[in-house]
Structure formats: C-alpha cells, structure tokens
Amino acid sequence: MFILSIEKISPAFIDFIPILVSFFLILNSLTILIMGISRLFFIKAIDLKFPKIDCTNEPLISIHLPTCNEPPELVIKTIKSILAGRYENFELIVLSNNTTNKNVWKPLKDFCVSQGRHVKFYHYSKVYGYKAGALNIALQLTSSKAEYIMVVDADYELIPDALNIAVKGIQSKKVDVLQFPQSYRNSGDKTRGLKTCYDHYFSYYLSSKKVDKMCLLTGTLSIMKASVFEVMGKWPTDTITEDAHFGVNILNEGMKISYSNVKIGNGLMPTTVDDYFKQYQRWVFGNFQTYILLFRKGKLPFKEKLKLGTLLTVWLNLLAYTFIVLLIVNPLLAILGVDITLISTLAISNILLHITIQLAILLKSCKYNVWSCIKGFLIHLSSVDIGSFYWLSYVFNRQKPFKRTNKFLKRSTFDVTIYLLPTYMSLIATILYYYEYTGLACMYIFFATLIMISKLTLITELKQSYNYILKPQLL
C-alpha cells in the first residue's frame, strides 16, 4: 500500500526521523545565515562620482548591438537614440542573428543601410552560442582602429551624452571595463516593486565598497577597452549568462572592472509572467554555472572569490530543503502521528531569517523608503520557488538553453501554475488542522496568503509595465 500504517514502522525509526530532519534544518539555517551575512557585508556604499578630467578627444568606440527576433521598430528606436547622441567618433555594428522571419530583419537592414557610414548591418541566419556567439562575430567585424567596445541591448535607448559619459568614466576610473546600471522606461510609481527588485542589484551590490574595481558585467551598457579582447580573445559561450562569466574571466587575468551609477540608457522590463520567470531562471541558473567555474578554475584569491560568489548568487536562495520539509515531510509525519512541532518551528525560523535579511537589503537599496521596500519584497517573494530550486537542476543538467525575453509587446495572460504553491500550502494547512496543529495550520495559511499576494502583485505590476509602453504619458 502507498500509505503505510504507523504500526508497520519501527518506533525507534519514527523517533529518529524528527531528530534527523531537525539536524539538517539547523544546518540549513546556518547556510542561510552565512549567505545572509555575506550579503549584508556589502552594505557600505562607495562614492561613485567621476573625478574631473580633461576628455576633449573622441577615441573610436565600436558599439555592438546583437538582435535576435526583436521587433524592428524597437531596434530602430535604439539605433536612432545612438545616432542622436553628441559623440561623433563611433561605429555601430547591428548584428541580426537566428532570425528566420525576413519581415523582422529586412526592415531593420533597410533602415541601417540608409543611415550612412556610422551604421553597419549584418544578418546571420544561424549563430551558435546564443548572444555570446553573436558578440564574437561582431568582434571580428570591429574596426582595427577602435579603442573601446560597448555592448548595447536591442531595447536600450541611450541618452544623448551616453558615449561621452562612458568614455569619460572609463578613463577617469582607470579601469579596463566600466558597467553602467540597467534601468527601464516602462517603469513608474505603479511598478515600484519591480523597479526596487531590479535596481537593488546595482544600488546595493555593485555600489558597494567591497567590489570596487572587481564588479561583474550585466549584459548591456558596458564599455571596455578593445585591448581586453587581445587578452581574452572572445566572449565565453559555455554558460547562459555570458556577461557574468566574461567578467569573472577578465578579473582572473588581473584586469579591473568598475561600476558607475550614472544612468545612460533605458530598456524594457518584461510585460508577462512567462517572460519575467524566463529572465529570472536565466539569471539563477546561468550565474550558478559561473559560480561553479569561479571556484573550480578561478585564479583569484579565495577572499575575492567569496565576494564575487555573493554577486553571482543574488537571485537564488537556500530555502529548498526548508520548503521540502514544509511541503512534503511535515504533512506525511503528521499523518503518521509524529510530533512535528520542533521541525516546523525550525523550518519557519529559516524562512523568517531569509525574509529579515532580504528586507534589510531592500530597505537599504531603496534608501529606506518603506513602501518601495515592501513592494520590492513582494516581487522577490513571487519567484522564491525559482530561486530555491532552479539552480539545483545544475546537478542533473549542467547546460540549459538561453531563453530570450520576448520584446514583442504582449499582455500577460492567466496562468494557473503560478497559484499552485499557495494553493498546495492551503491544502496542507487543512491536513494539519485536522491533526490538531491549529497554530501551525494558521502559519501555513499566513505564508500561503503572503505568496498569493506576491504573485498578484507581480501580475499587476507586469500589466502596468505593458500599459506604460502603450501610454508613456502615464509615467
């Protein structure tokens, strides 16, 4: 029979189960605490202002803009923003790749051809290595006179002084690579939670004194010396976050990467739950791939690896075992008549510990704006299951495909799967109430409600991000 009666199980084994589960929960709490302390270690920010320097010359910048199945009108807006800038000495390499629909890439080609010497368009129907593969082709097409290379995503519109700021920044900071923050033009007061959740990586982690001149790249709005590629050769293609992986490789070679909090461009955040989760999964898994490589092959001192390891694990958490206990072990033990009071107390304490640390980080990152902190935390909580379990899939499959974030305007649709976790927790609460764990059942209902609210908050803000694109005047 699937369900064994308690009489058929050894009493000694039954007594041992809660001890064993509790032991691993305590170990889990220690790992959560250690990760939390490593994150709180970044709390002291650094002055990110540029020193005043003379920057009258305009070295040649080669701007690399890879595009894969992006709406042509979106990419054209990005190109126009670059052409409208106040910097004259640049080349723009637009590299369309893995786009089979001629109606998508042909209008883009026609526009680029009409723009004169600054813009060069190339179309490759089959490129291996995802975005990194496209960037490697762009490297081969780069002018030998280029002193700097800048990566811009297809949806990022630059401000007029973006290139001037980028050159001045990398020269004044005397580094090999300079990363600028990602920000979004379909963001406003009604998407405050998404903004806080996205921004905290830059405003809290990359702004920290602890990683000055040893930051990681984030995929767009990064400028680097062309000489970097004389050492590195090309972008790495064996992870799905080529930006973070490349950053680790650069640091391994003794070069410096710094961060500036000056906003020089604005992109588009996802507008659907599916695209948001795809993006989150890519960050969780791809950064964990890089995390493993960092400790396996990295040349950096162990202390520096720990700092970079914290940057690479921002989007994941260590609650998987705790969730397994709460969602599977607890109800089974309750049915078998085993006292689960201690186990439940430890498991809930682990969740509360994670929540406390995350709230402290978000509160600092949004300059102690309580409402922004709460909204940001709800967005964070909406993907807590992805952060808990998705990186563990590395154990079974070390490679996953690069899942693009769709930029074709699309409204979020109803998806019943995002409500499964709170619904299942409510079901467990009913079981626990039946077995007279009333207080614990109430805690399950509380967390189920909190997660449900977080999911609804995510849906609401993603819909609003869609509306901001349709009606920019709402911003």
pLDDT tens-digit series, residues 21-30: 999 999 999 9
Is residue 158 within a helix (H) or strand (E), and if so which, with residue range? Answer: strand 157-158
Domains in the chain (CATH in brackets) are: 6-42+315-474 (no CATH), 61-271+278-283+293-299 (3.90.550.10)
The average pLDDT across 332-347 equals 93
**Dist. CA 222–CA 415, nearest whole Å:** 35
State the chain's mean pLDDT as an integer.
Answer: 92
pLDDT tens digits, one per residue of 106-122: 999 999 999 988 999 99
Distance CA 135, CA 113 (A): 20
Task: Report helix, strand or coil for 66.
Answer: strand
> What is the residue type of 21?
V
Q: What angle do CA 217, 220, 222 make, to 5 degrees?
A: 60
| Amino acid 116: pLDDT | 87
pLDDT level of residue 1 (50, 70, 90 thresholds): very low
Q: Is 409 exposed, middle or buried (0-12, 13-18, 19+ CB in 10 A)?
A: middle
* DSSP letter (8 states) at residue 398: S
pLDDT in tens, 271-315: 999 999 999 999 999 999 999 999 998 889 999 999 999 999 999
Structure tokens at 103: 């109606």
Q: What is the pLDDT of residues 364-387, one digit of tens each?
A: 999 999 999 999 999 999 999 999
Q: Please, what is the end-to-end C-alpha distance for the chain in angstroms? A: 60
For residue 403, pLDDT over 80 is answered with no
Q: Model confidence over 45-98: pLDDT tens digits?
A: 766 666 555 556 899 999 999 999 999 999 999 999 999 999 999 999 999 999
- Report the percent of the chain where pLDDT is more than 70: 93
Tokens of 361: 């980080």
Q: Are 214 and 42 in contact (CB under 8 A)?
A: no
> What pLDDT score was predicted for residue 470?
81
Q: pLDDT tens for residues 248-274?
A: 999 999 999 999 999 999 999 999 999
212, amino acid identity: D
The reported pTM is 0.92
Q: What average pLDDT does range 167-187 have in this prediction?
A: 95
pLDDT at 412 over 80: no
Tell me the torsion sign for CA atoms 432, 435, 437, 438: positive
The whole-angstrom separation of Cα 273 and Cα 383 is 10
Please name the residue that has the structure tokens 């650094």: 46
Residue 2 has pLDDT above 50, yes or no: no
CA–CA dist 382, 14 (Å, integer): 35
Inter-residue contact 60 to 91 (CB < 8 Å): yes
